[in-house]
Structure 1
């Protein structure tokens, strides 16, 4: 069985990851800060932009693949995938060193959480149905 829907959104999310990785790498080169944040708010923010993505997205891609392999509805998968891509772009743009709450951060966090819940529940329902 193939998982073309998951492959599509995983590829789009890889592009976002490459951008986040490049941003922190270039900032580290510019500031000479190799490890941790060196007391720089901007390095700390870039680290969290990258880190937050790395903490959430891999499991979501795995969940999406599980749901797709188990016959998940393609429309459901496309909606969740699109929401996830939009939210994972919005979230890092909304992180700001001096403001806790910004609209893009809220959209990114809520959308990512809703995607996680939706995929988790769908995987759970598929698992229960298979018993």
Structure 2
């Protein structure tokens, strides 16, 4: 299953973001929430954003794969999504608004493409 590759790579990204939060918590000696520390707020924002967008997109990717989409199409969308998420995560941590916008544009483009493709590849004959 091709989606497993991208799920694994994105899980590594999420783990890296979690480590960024842990580092900030340790540095600031904050056990819960953000303690009002800007760097910790930023790290938590980056992690939270990834947690919001990655799961649904992986589900959509797995569904088009399951319904028989072209292998190159699946890889192309997986790569674009991964690149978008990495750009976005690094940009949040660096407080780089242009990178955040670029990352979200890639994320939304892939998500929208997956929505459309899922409707195209939907096995309508098996719905009833």
Q: TM exceeds 0.5?
A: yes
The alignment's C-alpha RMSD in Å is 1.7
Question: Does 2:104 correspond to 1:109?
Answer: yes
Q: Measure, in 2, the Cα distance between the counterparts of 1:94 and 1:13.
A: 16
- How far is 1:34 from its partner? 1.8
Structure 1 portions without partners, runs of 5+: none
Alignment of 1:27-66 (within 5 A): 27-66=24-63
Alignment of 1:17-28 (within 5 A): 17-28=14-25
User: Corresponding residue for 1:124?
Assistant: 119
Q: Measure, in 2, the Cα distance between the counterparts of 1:50 and 1:20.
A: 5
Alignment of 1:60-79 (within 5 A): 60-79=57-76
Structure 2 portions without partners, runs of 5+: none
What is the aligned length? 126
User: Corresponding residue for 2:3?
Assistant: 6
Q: Measure, in 2, the Cα distance between the counterparts of 1:25 and 1:43.
A: 9
Q: Measure, in 2, the Cα distance between the counterparts of 1:57 and 1:111.
A: 13
1:111 partner SS: helix
Where has structure 1 moved over 3 Å in runs of 4 or more?
Answer: 128-131
1:34 partner SS: coil
Q: Measure, in 2, the Cα distance between the counterparts of 1:75 and 1:105.
A: 27
TM-score (norm 1): 0.88
Q: Measure, in 2, the Cα distance between the counterparts of 1:44 and 1:50.
A: 10
Q: Measure, in 2, the Cα distance between the counterparts of 1:12 and 1:28.
A: 25
